[in-house]
Amino acid sequence: MAGSLSVARSPDWSMLPPELLQTIARKLPDISDFVKFRAVCTTWRSVSDPPPQLPWFLEVKGGGYLLENFTGNLRFYSLFSGKIHTIPSPKSSGNWVRGPAHDYIALYNAKSCRISLLNPLTGRKVVIPFLDIDMPHPVWVGPDPIKSGEPVVLSGKSADFETGFLALYQPVQREWVVIEEPCLCSLGCCYFNGMLYVNEEVTETGDTKVIDTVTQKVVHVVPPPPEDDYECDAIMSVMYLLHSGGDILQVVLHYNDLLEADCHFHIHRLDLQSGNGGKPCWVKISSIGDQILFLDRDNGFSLSCRDFSGFRGNFIYFIKRHRDVDVRSLSLLCRYDIEEARAEPLNCPFVKGGTWIVPSLR
């Protein structure tokens, strides 16, 4: 009709093709944005797989790993967005957080002595069968271990504190395999491809044992690397063992807790093949390539920068103990440039410490 006005119709966003929705979803590296994306409509909700996620930093209160006076919320800091995410999580109340455990939080209830894995985003909680072990600490927990059948590896102490234990829970068989270690504690250890790598840092030797988890036998004993001259005024040190890009690394942080950014890392790669005269040894390295390390105060894991746009490899994100002018013990979240041998504090609001978790909807 002459003179009539045509009204522009809004596009029907629910009719976007699936391949385009997948492309859009891959551009959302913060999982909170992905959740909002899936909430648009039923069609968009069909996109079930988020892109690889950078870890969030979980706040722990009370200056340690205890969530005893927990009010029902967990707080996370996102490296990518710089945002704080608060997630209701009543299932965490009254537990000790034992992390990092990839996309789960490993919880320990001191009253019931029960160990459980919790995904704080989905609320999924998996209670692991009872094990008589004091204050267990995760050595390795892979993504969705119950579904994948990969073992959950813990370290801990016996009831009399005379002996250390390494324990593997096998989800398929629903049973524990316990390996006794002649040391008080085995925090310096990691798991990869059926082998446990245990650092005897509390003994005089400082050797690293390589243990076959099937036979429970020690297949290699590797002497510690030569001591290096510290490149900072270090008065404290922390040693980590972790798997990174197919290698086993020994990463040692030397730092001064009175100076904010004064610290240095020494990194060695385990060579089980050639070594010195055919014997396994640690080889000092100056680069970890495209890998990024995420360390808490006891343990850590490695991710590839190729999965994250805008992030470079050869960096370490770590927690550094620091005392301020009032001699309060604070935890600084820092980033270390391995190539430049330089650390810088990051703008993280959590000063009482924490651990890492990879946000997941599994």
Residue in the structure block whose two tokens are 């980033």: 335
Q: What is the DSSP string of 286-307?
A: S--TTEEEEE-SS-EEEEEGGG
pLDDT at 132 over 80: no
pLDDT at 123: 85
Chain mean pLDDT for the chain: 79
pLDDT at 284: 94
Quick: pLDDT tens for 50-81: 778 888 988 876 544 544 444 568 889 988 78
Strands 189-192 and 195-199: antiparallel
Report the top-level CATH class of 52-357. mainly beta
pLDDT at 201 over 70: no
pLDDT at 161: 54
Residue 163's pLDDT band (boundaries 50, 70, 90)? low
pTM of the predicted model as reported, rounded to 2 decimal places? 0.86
Specify the higher pLDDT residue, 352 or 344.
344
Mean pLDDT of 218-237: 76
Residue 309's pLDDT band (boundaries 50, 70, 90)? confident
d(CA 21, CA 258): 50
Specify the higher pLDDT residue, 63 or 360.
360
pLDDT at 287: 96
pLDDT at 278 over 60: yes
CB 345 within 8 A of CB 311: no
Where along the chain do its domains lie? 14-51, 52-357
d(CA 340, CA 30): 28
